[in-house]
Structure 1
Amino acid sequence: MRIAILAHEKFPDGAKTATGVLRYGTHDVVAVLDRDRDGERVADCDASLPDAPIVASLSEVDEPLDALLVGISPIGGGFDESWRPDVRAALERGCDVISGLHYFLEDDDEFRTLAEEHGCELWDVRRPPTDLGVADGVADSVDATVIVTVGTDCSVGKMTTTFELVAAARERGVDAAVVPTGQTGIMAEGWGYPIDRVVSDFAAGAVEELILERGNDHDYLFVEGQASIAHPAYSGVSTAILHGSMADELVLCHATDRERFHGFSQALPTIPDFVDLHESLAAPVGGSEIVAGALNTRTVDDDAAADAAVEEYADALGLPAADPIRQGPDAILDAVL
C-alpha cells in the first residue's frame, strides 16, 4: 500500500505513530506531511528511518497514493481542524484514511459522506470490537512464553523495544510474534486491539483474547506495553495489559533524562521502585518478573555518554540493559531467552 503520513508540526519527535509506521510498517511511504518541515526529507530528521520527502500538504503529492495515515496521536486523541483539508483532499482523491485517534473519522459527517461518494474506507484503528468480555484468567494456559514491555512512563520506547526484540529473535531462528495493543502497532501488524479504548471491565479480557488467539502458534509472544502502571492518567491500561497477559517476563523501558510523568508534574519513582511495583502487582496473577531493561537514549548526542547512561540504568536495575536502537537488542533478548 502506498501511503502519505500526516505529521504536521510534530515530525519526528512528536509523531511517534508516524515514526513507528515508517520504521516497522510494510507500507510504501510516498511522503510525510509536515508544514513546518516542507522541503526537507525524513533522513534529514532521523537517519535511522526509511527516507521520504516531507511536504506541506497532500496537494503536493503527485505520485499515486492508496491512503493517508494520521501519524499524530496527541494527548486525548483529538482531531486538529487544521488537518481537515488534507483528510478531505485524500478522500476526494479516492484514498482511504487510516487514523489512530480517539476522534473517530467515521463519525464525522463530512468525512463519512466523502468516503461514501468516492468509494473510500475510513479505518478508525482505535475503535474496538463490541463483543469483548471480561478476562477468565487463562492467558497462562498458552504454550508460548509471554513477554510484556512495560514502562516508567509514556513514550519511552515500549513499542520500539517490542518490534526490535521480535525482529532480532526471528533473525536467530526463534519463532516470535508481536501482540499489538496500541494504534501504531496495529497499523504496522494489521491486527490487535486498542486497549486504551476498551471499556475498563473488558480491557484485561481483550488482552487475554489476543494471547489466546496467537499463543499456541508461536514459541514467544512479545506484547506491546502501554503507558506506565504509575502514571497519574494512564495506569489503568498498563495494569490491564499486565494482568490480562499473565506474562512470564517483563522488560522495563525507560528514557534518559525523564524525571516526571509525561504531561504531569509528578516525579517518577526510582528504577528499583518500578521493579518492585511491577513484580508485586503481577504476583497474584502469574508472577511476572522483570528480566532486562531497555533505555531510550535518543536525547543523548554522544555515543559514549549514551553507553554510560545504559550502564547506569543496568546498575539501577541489577539486570542487563541496552538501547535497542543505538546498541541493538541482543543483550535484552539474551536475558529474555
Structure 2
Amino acid sequence: MALSRRFLILAEGSFGPLSSKTANACIRYVPDEVAAVLDSRTAGRKAQDVLGFGGNIPVVDSFAAGMIHLPNALLIGIAPAGGQFPDAWRSIVCDALRAGLDVWSGLHTMLGDDPEFAALAAVSGATIRDLRRMPSGLEVASGRVRDVEATVVLTVGTDCNIGKMTAQLQVQSSVRQLGHRVNFAATGQTGILVEGRGIAVDAVIADFIAGAAESLTIEAAAEADIVLVEGQGSIIHPAYSGVTLGLMHGALPHAMVLCAQPSRTSIHRNPWVSIPSLSEMIRLYEAAMEPLRPSPVIAIALNTFDLDDREARLAVERVRSETGLPTTDPVRYEPLVIAEAIAAFHVERVSERNVLSPPAMIG
C-alpha cells in the first residue's frame, strides 16, 4: 500500500499570505499531509502565526531541521510569475532526493528533466512529480461538454491570484451538504495537488487548452450533478487572458462565479491596466460566453484578506448592492450563500430541461 504523503514544504524566503500560494493551499486543505514548512525568514513560528490558519504546523530554518518531522516528500511551495525554479533552492532539492524524498513541483520548470535531479532520484528511488507536465493525447475542443447532463460552474476573476481555486474548494462542501453530487475540476498545479487529479491548463500548448478543459469537465461530470471548474487568469489580463478564454470555451460553463478583491484597482504587476467595475466585468464575461452558451454570472466571491472585519462587511454589502447578486468572502465568512446560488441555478436548469425534454412514456 502506498504511503500517505507527508510534505516538507519548501518556501524559503517566501512563506506568507501572498507569496506562497501552493504552500498555503496545501496547509489549508490537506493539513494532515504537512510535516513542516522550510523558511528561515519565519522559522520558529507556526503556520497559524504566519498565515492566520494552519494550526501548529512548524516553520523550520533548514532541511535538516525539517527532517526531524519525518517527511517523505518535498513540496515546492511557491507559484511565482513564469513558474521558474529558484536556483538557490537546488541544493535543498538535491538533499531531499539523496534522502529518498519524493519531490512534488508545480513549476513550469520540469524538475524531472533536470539531469542532476533525475540521476539522484534514480539512485535513491525517489519520484519527481511535475504537476504542470502536459499530458499526452490531448485533443482540440469540439464542444463535447454540451452533451453532459451535469451543471458546470466556472470561477472567473477580475485578476489572477485572486481566489478562484479557493472559492470553489470552499463552496464544494456546502454544495454537497445541500444534497448534490459535486466534483471539483482542477486546472492548476495547486488544485491538482489538493484534488489528486487534473490538468494544469497554463502549461498546455495553446491550441489544446480548451481541449484540456473540455476533457477535465467531461471526466468530472461523469460522477456528479454539479461540476465546479477552477478558473485561471482574467479575461482582461495582458499575460494570462489566453488561458482564461481557452478554459471558458472548453469547459462551456452553464454559469459563472466572479471572484474579486475589493482593494485591488489594477492588474497585479500591471498597474497600467485598470480593473473595470464589477458590473462591467460581468458584462465582459457574459458577452464572451454568449456565442457558445449563455452563461450568467450568478454570484460574487470576494477576497477581503487585507481588510478588517468592518471594511470587509461593508465591501460585501456594497458589491451585493451594485450587482444584485449573492456575495460573500467564502473564506472569511460562511460560503453557503454562493453554494445556495449554485444549487438553485442547478435545480432550475434541471427543471427547465425536463420541461423541454420530458421522459419518454413507458408502455
Q: Any idea what SS the aligned residue of 1:36 has?
A: coil
Distance in 2 separating the partners of 1:26 and 1:286? 38
Q: Any idea what SS the aligned residue of 1:292 has?
A: strand
- Asked whether the equivalents of residues 242 and 282 of structure 1 are also in contact (C-alpha less than 8 Å), the reply is yes
- Asked whether the equivalents of residues 25 and 187 of structure 1 are also in contact (C-alpha less than 8 Å), the reply is no
Distance in 2 separating the partners of 1:299 and 1:72? 20
Q: Give the alignment partner of residue 8 of structure 1, picking from 12, 19, 28.
A: 12
Q: Give the alignment partner of residue 294 of structure 2, picking from 271, 275, 287.
A: 287
Structure 2 residue aligned with 1:164: 170
- Asked whether the equivalents of residues 149 and 223 of structure 1 are also in contact (C-alpha less than 8 Å), the reply is yes
Structure 2 residue aligned with 1:57: 62
Structure 2 residue aligned with 1:35: 40
* 2:198 corresponds to 1:180: no
Q: Report the residue type matching 1:178 in the other structure.
A: F
Task: Percent identity, please.
Answer: 41
Q: Any idea what SS the aligned residue of 2:91 has?
A: helix
**Shift in Å at residue 326 of structure 1?**
1.0
Q: Any idea what SS the aligned residue of 2:312 has?
A: helix
Distance in 2 separating the partners of 1:142 and 1:58? 47
Superposed structure 1 runs of 4+ greater than 6 Å apart:
none
Distance in 2 separating the partners of 1:248 and 1:154? 22
Contiguous gaps of at least 5 residues in structure 2: 344-363
Q: Give the alignment partner of residue 238 of structure 2, picking from 214, 232, 237.
A: 232
**Shift in Å at residue 316 of structure 1?**
2.5
- Asked whether the equivalents of residues 26 and 188 of structure 1 are also in contact (C-alpha less than 8 Å), the reply is no
* 2:278 corresponds to 1:274: no
Contiguous gaps of at least 5 residues in structure 1: none
Which range moves more in the overlay, 167-176 or 205-214? 167-176
**Shift in Å at residue 273 of structure 1?**
1.1
The 1:211/1:114 distance shift into structure 2, 3 A limit, reads same
Q: Give the alignment partner of residue 215 of structure 2, picking from 196, 209, 219.
A: 209
Q: Any idea what SS the aligned residue of 1:285 has?
A: coil
Q: Report the residue type matching 2:27 in the other structure.
A: L
Distance in 2 separating the partners of 1:194 and 1:27? 24
Distance in 2 separating the partners of 1:156 and 1:217? 29
Q: Report the residue type matching 1:56 in the other structure.
A: D
What is the aligned length? 336
Distance in 2 separating the partners of 1:230 and 1:51? 39
Q: How does 1:1-337 map to 2 (within 5 A)?
A: 1-13=5-17, 14-25=19-30, 28-61=33-66, 62-265=68-271, 266-301=273-308, 303-337=309-343
Distance in 2 separating the partners of 1:23 and 1:76? 24
**Shift in Å at residue 141 of structure 1?**
1.1
CA RMSD of aligned residues (A): 1.2
**Shift in Å at residue 47 of structure 1?**
3.1
Distance in 2 separating the partners of 1:22 and 1:171? 23
For residues 137-163 of structure 1, give each alpha carbon's deviation from its aligned partner in whole angstroms, at most 9, with x where no partner exists.
121211111000110001111011010
With normalisation by structure 2, the TM-score equals 0.90
**Shift in Å at residue 271 of structure 1?**
1.0
- Asked whether the equivalents of residues 59 and 89 of structure 1 are also in contact (C-alpha less than 8 Å), the reply is no
Q: Report the residue type matching 1:57 in the other structure.
A: S
- Asked whether the equivalents of residues 3 and 27 of structure 1 are also in contact (C-alpha less than 8 Å), the reply is no
Q: Any idea what SS the aligned residue of 1:37 has?
A: coil
Q: Which has the larger radius of gyration?
A: 2
**Shift in Å at residue 172 of structure 1?**
2.8
Which range moves more in the overlay, 276-285 or 40-49? 40-49
For residues 29-54 of structure 1, give each alpha carbon's deviation from its aligned partner in whole angstroms, at most 9, with x where no partner exists.
11011121011110111333343000
Q: Any idea what SS the aligned residue of 1:284 has?
A: coil
With normalisation by structure 1, the TM-score equals 0.97
